[in-house]
């Protein structure tokens, strides 16, 4: 049996790595196409998929899609007022109210990481989003923690915590006063 391994690297913004594997077995005709199988999505990919669906539902102002992703006991700390823990009804009333004045929404996930702990998952990432509401443009970067739980064969969001990065500090600071003895 002879195995072949070929790796090619594509440069550019994606820095994509492509790997091709093929095996020639004794008696197998050369040049015959081999069946390619798609890799099984990981549990972590399933968690990220739910987070992306959640953000796409905001972008598309799709109330039904938002509701379908949330657990019945959902809670949220938002990066928009009110800055308190909101239960499902309050959080959704606020979010769907914002849909009425939202005219654009784009986002980027940065440094996404998920930890799956049995039937519970924790996703952490930075969310950079640009939105226009009431003809005002916002450019926001927040830290986000999303807690999910497994229900049947899908993940449901139990809690989200959004926390904006503090505004940049001024370049120069007033000298600190120290007490002299």
Report cis status (omega within 30 of 0) of the bond before 82. yes
Instruction: State how far the Cα of 142 lies from the Cα of 140, in Å rounded to an integer.
Output: 6
The whole-number pLDDT of residue 21 equals 35
Domain boundaries, the chain: 43-164
> Whose structure tokens read 């930075």?
126
Q: What's the predicted TM-score (pTM) here?
A: 0.71
Q: Tell me, which fold does domain 43-164 have in CATH? A: Nuclear Transport Factor 2; Chain: A, (3.10.450)
Q: In the chain, which stretches have pLDDT less than 50?
A: 1-28, 168-175
The reported pLDDT for the residue numbered 54 is 98
Rounded Cα–Cα distance for residues 54 and 100 (Å): 18
pLDDT of residue 10: 35
Which residues, 6+ apart, have CB-to-CB distance to 136 below 8 Å? Answer: none
């Amino acid at each position: 049996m002879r195995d072949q391994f070929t790796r090619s690297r594509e440069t550019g913004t994606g820095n994509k790595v492509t790997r091709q594997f093929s095996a020639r077995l004794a008696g197998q005709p050369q040049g015959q196409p081999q069946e390619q199988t798609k890799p099984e999505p990981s549990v972590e990919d399933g968690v990220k998929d739910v987070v992306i669906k959640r953000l796409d539902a905001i972008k598309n102002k799709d109330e039904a899609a938002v509701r379908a992703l949330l657990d019945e006991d959902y809670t949220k700390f938002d990066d928009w007022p009110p800055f308190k823990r909101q239960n499902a009804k309050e959080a959704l009333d606020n979010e769907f109210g914002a849909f009425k004045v939202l005219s654009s929404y784009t986002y980027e996930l940065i440094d996404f990481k998920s930890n799956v702990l049995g039937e519970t998952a924790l996703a952490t990432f930075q969310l950079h989003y640009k939105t226009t509401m009431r003809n005002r443009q916002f450019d926001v970067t927040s830290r986000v923690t999303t807690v999910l739980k497994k229900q049947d064969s899908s993940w449901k969001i139990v809690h989200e915590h959004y926390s904006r990065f503090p505004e940049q500090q001024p370049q120069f600071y007033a000298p600190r006063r120290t007490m002299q003895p």
